[in-house]
Each structure stands twice: as structure tokens, then as C-alpha cells.
A = this chain, B = another copy of it.
């Protein structure tokens, strides 16, 4: 994952409301969760929720599928895994014990 892609995804998750939305979707698992149910469970104005969901969808962290009048939202686990992998790679450039190549392990 490119650094700017990572940044936009981190930014999307970096809002408390959006992080709660995302967490709800993760917890909902495979079957996902309808927008309306999210709205009830998180107690947000519909338009506010819609804006936040859009932000998550745009960066690929959430996918949506229409089922009649309701819109099912699902967490994109693979995208999250890519993000975590990016962070781990950044965090552990020097992997075990975090020692840079030139500064041997102490």
C-alpha cells in the first residue's frame, strides 16, 4: 500500500464517529448491517451517517450492497489487512527488537 493511500485510510478511521461506525460493521460480520440499523444503534442524524459512510466507502474500507430499499454495509476486511500490514511494515522496518540494519542488535 502506498503511503498516501494509507494516509487517507488512517484519516478515515481517525474520526471517532467513523471509527465507531467501522467497528460496528466489523462486529456485524459477513452479513453486514443496514444503514438504518447503524443509525439507530449509533444515534446519528441520517445525513451525518451518510457522509461518514461515504468517506469510508470512498477509501475502500466499507462496501455497500443494495437489498431493496435498504443498503447493507460491510467492512472490507482485506483493505484493513492491507492497512495493518502497512503499519506493521512501517513500525517494524527494523523488525525484531527494532534495530536498524546498520545499528546491530544490542
Using CB atoms and an 8 Å cutoff, list the residues of chain A in contact with chain B: 3-4, 6-16, 19-20, 22-23, 26-31, 75, 77-78, 80-81, 83-85, 87-88, 90-95, 97-101, 103-104
Interface of A is mostly: helix
Chain B neighbourhood of A26, CB < 8 A: 90-91, 93-94
Number of copies of this protein chain within its complex: 2
- The answer to whether B8 touches A14 (Cβ under 8 A) is yes
Distance in angstroms from A4 CB to nearest chain B CB is 6
Task: Compute how far the CA of A30 lies from the CA of B77 in the bound complex, rounded to whole angstroms.
Answer: 32
Chain B neighbourhood of A29, CB < 8 A: 93-95, 98-100, 103
- The answer to whether B100 touches A30 (Cβ under 8 A) is yes
Instruction: Using A11-B15, A29-B94 as known contacts, say yes or no to A80 and B87 having CB atoms under 8 A apart.
Output: yes
